[in-house]
Structure 1
Amino acid sequence: MNGFQILFLALLLDFIFGDPLQIWSRIPHPAVIMGRFVDWFDDHFNRGKLRREKGILAIALLAILALAVGYLLKILPDYGIVEMLVVTALLAHNNLVKHVRAVATGLAESLKAGQTEVAKIVGRETKNLDEAGVATAAIESAAENFSDAVVAPIFWYLILGLPGIILYKVVNTADSMIGHKSETYAEFGFGSAKLDDLLNLIPARICGALMCFVQTSKNTWDVWDLMLSDAPLHASPNAGWPESAMAGILDIRLSGPRIYDGELTDDAYINPQGNKNPNRDDILESTKVIQRTWYAIAATIGFFALVTWIF
């Protein structure tokens, strides 16, 4: 199997099965293994002086290890079966949709249930969020994580093959674990955060553009203009692109101040003129947006897989 065929089959397997608990309860998921390596470097390197330099060395060593493992798995004489299974495990569209929809289901039950579900997919404090705050957090997570968990892995697989997608997931995992600006990780996580920003630079913009062009509720160019104007307002150099596209498609206000580690941020609003009180229906609409975008991606990959199979 060639790369397009492997990727298309992996997309289908992830779409249908997601991460089967029957499998990952018995053997460690690749992301869990990556997390253990990050923990090891955190335990042994994140101490004493020169923490920034040690953090840069740690992520460099993790990146080299990821590329080496990817190359070794790729050359296995197994007709691409292992590669397809690894790529499937490193895609997360099914789980993302499931977790975001769970927030809407929770809100239908009670505000507390909605807060509990959204806390599973965002890093901000959720215990004091009202319904609009819970919905906003879920929708932002849907947009940002679709870029991080689907579009970026696909992009790096197409660019560098199996080593590329493993490299991306290792860096993204490290960023989620040590890349935040807390007292413990402000220096040590610097390298991971910057490399993650670099690896997401192109995929995030591709993701936003795709979301603009597959939406059906508004004029495509109006959403495009909003994305171009509001994406740079986001605190993240990358998350603003899919989030501003989503804000334009749903005509809602996103981002703005939120609480992390007990401190209120001063983040700017995206699409400030949009609906300030999104609800569970908007959460469900956000999953439809990422579903349509996934269909467009899968259809494109499937076309090239078919062409390469025929010719």
Structure 2
Amino acid sequence: MEYTRLTQTDMEIPKIGLGTWAIGGWMWGGTDEQAAIDTIHAALDRGITLIDTAPVYGFGNSEEIVGKALAQYGRREHVTLATKVGLAWQDGRVTRDSSPSRIRQEIEDSLRRLGTDYIDIYQVHWPDGSVPFEETAATLEALRIEGKIRAIGVSNYSPAQMAAFAQAAPLATNQPPYNLFEREIEGDVADYCIEHGVGMIAYGALCRGLLSGRMQADTQFTGDDLRLSDPKFQAPRYVHYLEAVRQLDEYAQTHHGRRVIHLALRWLIDQPGVATALWGARRPDQLEPVEAVMGWSLSDEDRAAIDGILQTCIPDPVGPEFMAPPENAPLA
């Protein structure tokens, strides 16, 4: 495993972290708790010592599973535990709430579910325009001073929102959606993070499995699976993205003796400003490709070839906007 240091902290984190949205079950067709715990243990054994979760992942289920896994594994001080705050839910309906009272409630709930007395990176899950960003930031800074969190982060924030937030608290990380197929942050969010030393924790690294190389034209998604509402998995785009994956896989094999999953992760973790990329896994065997992501790099010629494949295969690209929860009315 390769590691990097978060600029504004004393934390050394792996270039690949474990994302646990799918482990929570909600929008991923349920969960197998023992398989999830085994996956977390397998990740830690591989040096994937950053675990990212959130209360809304399974409405507390993901945090509880992570807490059980860490209690069994031990060595809490060697794990960088990241979770989030600022989403409320009722009857499956998710709303944004970054008010001080909500944050104070959530930190206690998360600490209890995770079975720990501190969280390493505490991130505001989505910007809430109905609460001043400085007010949200000041509440998190108070938690940091109290020792309940070690570093403050945000997720899905724009440069202007990060700038307002940073007026009241030191901002260590931003977690944006970022992968070979979803590159909307380039030119604004990424530039801000690079300029201000905010480490990016990239989520959606494999684009909901598209870049794993395992999906076929006849792959079926059922129940509450997130991909049923993802435009990339609908006709006619799905065929376009699958063709891009096929050509990327062929390129990876021919030029590097690897597969598209390795190419996609190597491209991502080498992007400027990216501190770590989150690898979502639900079973230990899904972590097996990690080793082949390490220890090599892409050339400028590789990057140009990759961009050429994307431009040729995907005439109507679409981003991850469909995942955003409803926005609150902005402050007057």
**TM-score strictly above 0.5:** no
Q: Which has the higher strand share?
A: 2
Q: Which has the higher helix share?
A: 1
TM-score, normalised to structure 1, is 0.31
